[in-house]
Amino acid sequence: MSKTLNRRDFIKTTSATTIGVATIVSGITLTTFANANKMPVTNEKRWGMLIDTNKLTEADIDGMVSACQQEQGWGSELHSTGNQKPGWIKKLKVRDKATGKISNLALMCQHCEQPPCVDVCPTNASMKRKDGIVLVDRHLCIGCRYCMMACPYDARSFVHETLSNQKEHMPRGKGTVEACTMCVHKVDKGEAPACVASVNSDAVIFGDLYDASSKINQTLKTIQSAQIRADLNLNTGVRYSGI
């Protein structure tokens, strides 16, 4: 007994299968896209930065600072004076005593693996995400500023005045400590931090230190690089070459 498939039945079954497959496939792609920020970050990644001080010009550093100010909305405080002014990223001149060689560094939170600011925080507000980004949870910060004293890089600032019109992604307020967030809101979207994006050359590389195929990992394997105050064994996420 043989059953022949007529034209009408064939069209019906094929179209039904196509629609079915298409629905499932689109469902899968949709969930993969949606999952990007639904899952907690893991320690399979460690975000880091490599700054080549030979390639980085002073103008580049100024550009990085203003890109940071624009992105995060700091630097226009009216009542803070002198040391009260926040500085998430700063330009630093280092002179070699023997040769007199001057290098310009962009210095910000170094996103240590063993951050002293986290060790000293009495309220657990100073914290490190699993992917290595060190942040201040301002919900818990009581403004004691121990972390500012503990940080060997002077990377943190304290907000001394009432603020308004903050950036939507970067809440900031009087009485809390703040620092470079490695533009965590951008990194979570798969973008590079604002300061990295502002430099046109490859003087600043951002990426996953653990990923063997990433540019930063490969460059760090081939060139000589240093951590600032490597003697403290903090294993910083921000590395420098040319110093």
Partner 1 sequence: MNRLLVVFLTLLVSSVFAHTNEHANLGERASSIKASGKVFHGSISIIRKMHPEFLRHKRDKTLRQGVRTDEHSLKGCVSCHANKNKTNNQYHSVDKKDQFCSNCHQQVGVSLDCFSCHRTTPKKGSL
Nearer to partner 1, 185 or 215 (CB): 185
The residue count of the chain comes to: 243
> Contact, 122 vs 141, CB < 8 A?
no
Our finding on whether 32 is near partner 1 (CB under 8 A) is no
Could you tell me how far CA 100 lies from the centroid of its own chain?
Answer: 33
Please report which residue ranges of 169-208 form alpha helices under DSSP H. 184-187, 194-198
Q: Which of 3, 7, 38, 79 binds partner 1 (CB under 8 A)?
A: 38
DSSP string covering 14-59: HHHHHHHHHHHHHHHHHHHHHHTTTSPP-TT--EEEEEETTT--HH
Of 37 and 84, the one with the shorter C-beta distance to partner 1 is 37
| Window contacting partner 1 (CB under 8 A); options: 38-46, 103-111, 215-223, 228-236 | 38-46
Instruction: Compute how many residues bind partner 1; rule: CB under 8 A.
Output: 30
138 is a contact residue toward partner 1 (CB under 8 A) = yes
- Judged by CB under 8 A, which of 7, 98, 168, 212 binds partner 1? 168
Pick from 182, 178, 145: which is nearest to 163 by CA?
178
Tell me which stretch binds partner 1 (CB under 8 A): 7-15, 101-109, 170-178, 193-201.
Answer: 170-178
Strand ordering across the sheet containing 47-52: 204-208, 47-52, 238-241
User: CB of residue 37 vs partner 1: minimum separation in angstroms?
Assistant: 4
Instruction: Enumerate binding residues for partner 1 (CB under 8 A).
Output: 37-41, 127, 129-131, 135, 137-139, 162-169, 171-174, 176, 184-185, 188-189
